[in-house]
Structures are given as structure tokens and as C-alpha cells.
Amino acid sequence: MIAFVLIGGWTLVERTWLYPYDYRSYIETSAAQQRTDPYLVAAVVKHESKFQTTACSDGGAVGLMQLMPQTAAWIAGQLGEPFTEDYLYDPALNIRYGVWYLAELEREFGGNDILALAAYNAGRGNVRDWMERSHWTDQFDEIDAIPYPETRLYVRRVLEDREHYKRLYEK
């Protein structure tokens, strides 16, 4: 009984403080539409904004999935939708656009989550340059070979946290 309470209590702490899953319905709906792992999306949101809808980076990224306004405008164009920067503060739209973009990167990089996350963080052009310079393929799996330390750490942490989200929330 004591072990059950301790384990159950720890799971509650993990779900509440360490791995929150706010906006779960938006994440799961958008992930299903794009055939993307919702736990990967939750881990991206955790690292990008800590689930804060008003998060803004020094570089100009906005909202839950920290989308650059230019990228979001491009996504809106791809989807045939109107766009203003204020839309990025809407959690449903920010998640939908962020998931669409992440899925687009996954398609571009052959389903490789490492490369897609690196591109989400450092830009698809940088990842393409690294691939060309270092002769990487879509089967790339060496996180330590990513040249930007911040991106290396980002990819590693997001992938680790995806496993925590999966363990805590998978049905």
C-alpha cells in the first residue's frame, strides 16, 4: 500500500510539474490529422514554451510551439488561410500550425525525428547544409554529430521527454 501511494504520488508529481500535458486535445487532434506522434509534440511544446501561450523568444518566435511569424505566414499560405501575427497567441492555431510544420519537416527528412527536430530548432536550411557537408542521409542517428551545441541538447532533451510523455500518458 505504501509503495502504491509513493509510486502514484510520484506519477502525479511528474504529470503535474515535470511533464504537464496542457492543451492535450489540441495536440492529439492536430497530431492525428498530420499522422505525427502526439508525445513528440508535447515534448516540443514543453521545451519551446513550457506550455505558456504568451511565450515570445528574443529571436521573435511566438506562442506554444514558438513559431516565427514568417514561418507561420508561410504555413497559412500553404493551408490557404488568412494570417496575422496575433493568431499565434491562439493555442489551437499555434499547435495546429506547429504540428503541420513539424510533420512537414518529418516528411522532408524521411521520417527522421532527429533531423526534423534539428530543423525545427536550427532551421531546415542549416540541417540541409549539415547533411550535404557531412554526407548525412535520412538514416542519420548521431545526435552528437549535430554541429550546434544548443540544437544537440534540444534534440536530445525533446526525444528523452517524448519517452516520459509516452510512459505517463499512453492509453
Beta partners for residue 56, in sequence order: 62
Note the residue count of the chain: 171
pLDDT of the residue at 135: 84
Nearby residues of 165 by Cβ (< 8 Å), 6 or more positions away: 19, 21, 39, 42, 43
Domain edges within the chain: 23-169
Element (H, E) at 126: helix 124-134
- What span, in angstroms and rounded, lies between the C-alpha atoms of 14 and 155? 21
The gap between the terminal CA atoms of the chain, to the nearest Å, is 24
Q: Which residues are catalytic?
A: 48
Locus of grid cell 550535404: 132
CA distance 138 to 106: 10
The pLDDT score that the predictor gives to residue 12 is 82
pLDDT in tens, the chain (171 residues): 444 445 556 778 888 789 999 999 999 999 999 999 999 999 999 999 999 999 999 999 999 999 999 999 999 999 999 999 999 999 999 999 999 999 999 999 999 999 999 999 999 999 999 999 998 887 888 999 999 999 999 999 999 999 999 999 997
Read off the pTM. Answer: 0.92
Query: What whole-number distance in Å separates Cα of residue 100 and Cα of residue 122?
Result: 17
- Topology annotation, domain 23-169: Lysozyme (1.10.530)
